[in-house]
Amino acid sequence: MIGKFKKSLRLKWLVFSVLLATIPLIIAGISIVQIYQKDLKKSVIEMEEAKANLVVEATQAFLEKVISNLLFLTKAENFGKNGFSHLRNHLENLLYQNDYFVELTLLDEKGREVVKVSKYKTVFPSHLKDLSKTEMFQVTSKGQIYYGGVLASAEEIPSMIIAIPIEAYKGKAIGVLAGQIHLQCLWDVVSKTKIGEKGIAYVVDWEGNLIAHPDARRVWMRENVSYLCGTRCHIQKESVFEWGWPSGERFLNIYKRIQNLGWGVFVEVPVEEAYQPVRKIAGTAIGWILIALSIAVLFTFFLTRKLTLPIKRLSEKMAEVARGNFETDIQVTTQDEIGLLANCFNRMVQGLRQSREALIEAETKYRRIFENSKDMIYITSVDGKFLEVNQAGVEMLGYATKKDLMNVHIKDIYLYPEDRKKFQNEVTQKGFVKDFEAKLKRKDGSPIDCLITASIRREEEGIITGYEGIIKDISFRKSAEKELLQKTEQLQTLYDLSILINQSLDLEKILPLALDKALKVTGFEMGTIHLLNDDGKSLDLKSYSGFSPVFIEHVKVLRWGEGVAGKAVDLRQRVSASIASNPSSRILPFLKEEGVRLTVGVPLVSKRKAIGAITLSSRSSRTLNPKEINLLESLGGQTGLALENARLFSHVAKAKSEWEATFDAVTDL
């Protein structure tokens, strides 16, 4: 690097010019900014502290004036010597001579109210109270001045009570004079105090409740601002702090305490406004640094312009190569670094030309195979992004364009996420997978049965970069296999049923067996079998499964055409009814109690005559496909035939028994 720096004149001038212009200014600018920032920040804080002190002094002066007026009244020579009426006159004179007094009260040495006058209400003798237990009397009886808490209500100026002891000989308290004053004066001071453009001053009590604020509504709402510093403001040494809202706006706060009251004065200024002069100094310094840098860059540009022209020509030629023009070259005119670079460029272009020809030939072959394949060919990254996919894959997964599929993550085309994990584990262990069976899903969510043959793509260092492979859609084969298996199971069921039925002519065995097979094949949870009574007007329950005993009691006998079973016998065809469309109002409440959502009735037919019905019920809403319907009808027909055979056998057995009885009777004669 040092050798290149020594041989490159352009690099030397560039570095030298920039450093010469910027380093001194940066050092000087940082130093000046630091000094001015510190001084200006201190000046800003001192100025805001002075404003806070003005509010404190104005508040204290106001309170001292109130106390002076009360003391002056109690020190008057004729105060308390001419009876209560004379005292009332004194108090009323003081009350109406000063706007800030709201109410004045005189207490005797036992804490009882003796005289009380008010500007806004009439005080009757019955209104006078005993205040001997109050904090006010306890404090003033000890010869101390009492400062009460702030009294505030909606849309009224807050007020407070100040009480002084009335002293006689040797300072002994012989009574208390209390005055309730409103704090309009304090509001005026806060409103008139100018704190910049957006700053404000306000006063809070010990608990952080607003007493005076430029926005009177916040005072009337008794807003508490203890979130600024809580009670720490009264005890901490630092009276200057910053705080901010979650929205990002920050404020500089100056806190001053009002002695004797425990109140506090806050001066609040947005940090952006308070420190604006500091930012101006920093902005000026940065501006000069940028100007110096611009001058250095311009100086270097004009000085090195001749050196950059050959490089510009080389750049133009490289741009042509980037656009695909590999027939260009550069004429070498010098033997310096630029000439060496031109020779290297010419050799590079010649190598790229040869590589492109070989690449075009290989890509043509690959693209033909890739696009003409009827199976999905794909390349993905390790994190599951499609890097390439052919049109067969786009069509197989149900996407409109290749771009739509490329924006889908590979894990989103798997119907079951565990198949993706299993595939990754197997291909990572072996380096490849062959005929890995998985269920994928199309864009509309429909499943596809597939076989995946894939291998790992690696870098030269052996790092896995992705997967490439072929996906074959075997949904048709799977569907055919499944259909064949279902058909085989159904035929086997019918065959087993026919064998078992033919082995027995006992209805007690045939009917439960037929019902069990029907439930097992269709997946219904509950079912019944009713047979037509001898009178031909009702159906008797002969077998059931899955229903509660309570329900069975109500369906032991059905009238002709009643319910799904009766309707199936009446119509001699299959009847399906949801719980909302069940034809029997008598049975419907009991079906709801069982949680039935769907009921299907299949007639048991023998010799074109319905002799009963199989009724299947499910607690889920579903539909029967044509294969299930045909199977049920076959079960119904086969069961009806078995029932007819069983009845014939029963009739034959009965006739044989009667014949034998007759023969025995004749023989006995």
CATH code for the domain in which residue 446 is found: 3.30.450.20
CA atoms within 13 A on the CB side of 581: 9
Q: What is residue 555's DSSP assignment? A: S
Average pLDDT over residues 576-582: 82
Would you state the pLDDT for residue 496? 64
pLDDT tens across 617-637, in order? 888 887 777 777 777 777 777
Q: Hey, which residues does 613 pair with through a beta bridge?
A: 530, 603
Identify whether 513 is part of a domain: yes
Task: Give the CATH number for residue 515.
Answer: 3.30.450.40
Q: Nearest-CA neighbor of 266 among 222, 302, 224?
A: 224
Residue 490 binned pLDDT confidence (cut-offs 50, 70, 90) = low
Distance of CA 511 to the CA centre of its chain: 58
Which of 64-73, 293-302, 340-349 holds the top average pLDDT?
64-73
**Is the domain of 440 the same as that of 538?**
no
In a domain, 455, yes or no: yes
Q: Is residue 243 part of a domain?
A: no
Residue 224 inside a domain? The answer is no
Does 136 reside within a domain?
no
Is there a single domain that holds both residue 500 and residue 608?
yes
Q: Kindly report the backbone phi and psi dihedral angles of residue 439, in degrees, each rounded to the nearest multiple of 5, phi listed first.
A: -105, 120
Between 201 and 648, the higher pLDDT residue? 201
Please check the confidence at residue 265 and state whether its pLDDT lies above 80: yes
- Of 68-82, 121-135, 140-154, minimum mean pLDDT range: 68-82
Residue pair 136/162 in contact (Cβ under 8 Å)? The answer is no
Same structural domain, 516 and 544: yes
DSSP string, 61-92: HHHHHHHHHHHHHHH-TTTTTSHHHHHHHHHH
Q: Is the pLDDT of residue 303 over 80?
A: no
Which phi and psi angles does 390 have, rounded to 5°?
-90, 175
Q: What pLDDT was estimated at residue 654? A: 67
Regarding whether 450 and 358 lie in a shared domain, the answer is no
Q: Record the tokens describing residue 73, joined without a space.
A: 């009244």
As a whole number of angstroms, the distance between CA 620 and CA 33 comes to: 79
Taking the C-alpha atoms of residue 18 and residue 7, their distance in angstroms, rounded to an integer, is: 19
Report CA torsion sign: 523, 527, 532, 534: positive
Higher pLDDT, 593 or 207: 593
Residues 515 and 610 in one domain: yes
pLDDT, average across residues 12-27: 68
Q: Which of 74-88, 118-132, 464-478 has the lowest mean pLDDT?
A: 74-88
Domain limit, last residue, from 473, 503, 522: 473
- Asked if 178 and 104 touch (Cβ cutoff 8 Å), the reply is yes
Q: How confident is the model at residue 495 (pLDDT cuts 50, 70, 90)?
A: low
* 599/582 Cα distance (integer angstroms): 8
In this structure, the answer to whether residues 350 and 462 fall within a common structural domain is no
285 three-state secondary structure? helix
Model pTM?
Answer: 0.40
566 shares its domain with 449: no
Confidence at residue 453, expressed as pLDDT on a 0 to 100 scale: 92
Q: What confidence category does residue 315 fall into, taking pLDDT thresholds of 50, 70 and 90?
A: confident
Give residue 428's domain range.
373-473
For residues 121-146, average pLDDT: 85
Is there a single domain that holds both residue 591 and residue 633?
yes
Angle at 338 between CA 332 and CA 343, to 5 degrees: 45
440 and 577 co-located in one domain: no
Number of structural domains the chain divides into:
4
CB atoms < 10 A from the CB of 243, how many? 13
The answer on pLDDT for 571 being more than 80 is yes
CA distance linking residue 216 with residue 227, whole number of Å: 20
Query: Within this chain, do residues 438 and 453 fall inside the same structural domain, yes or no?
Result: yes
The verdict on residue 167 lying in a domain is no
Q: Do the beta carbons of residue 468 and residue 390 sit within 8 Å?
A: no
Per the domain annotation, does 332 fall within a domain? yes
Mean pLDDT of 370-387: 86
What pLDDT does residue 528 have?
92
pLDDT band at residue 641 using 50, 70 and 90 as cut-offs:
low
Residue with the larger pLDDT of the pair 134 and 534:
134
Asked if 526 and 651 sit in the same domain, the reply is yes
Mean pLDDT of the chain: 78
Predicted confidence band of residue 237 (pLDDT cuts 50, 70, 90): very low
The percent of residues above 90 in pLDDT, for the chain, comes to 3
User: What is the reported pLDDT for 215?
Assistant: 80
Q: Is the pLDDT of residue 333 over 60?
A: yes
Last residue of a domain, one of 334, 367, 400: 367
pLDDT band at 399 (very low <50, low <70, confident <90, very high): very high
User: Is 195 part of any domain?
Assistant: no
pLDDT, average across residues 288-302? 72
Same domain, 379 and 353: no
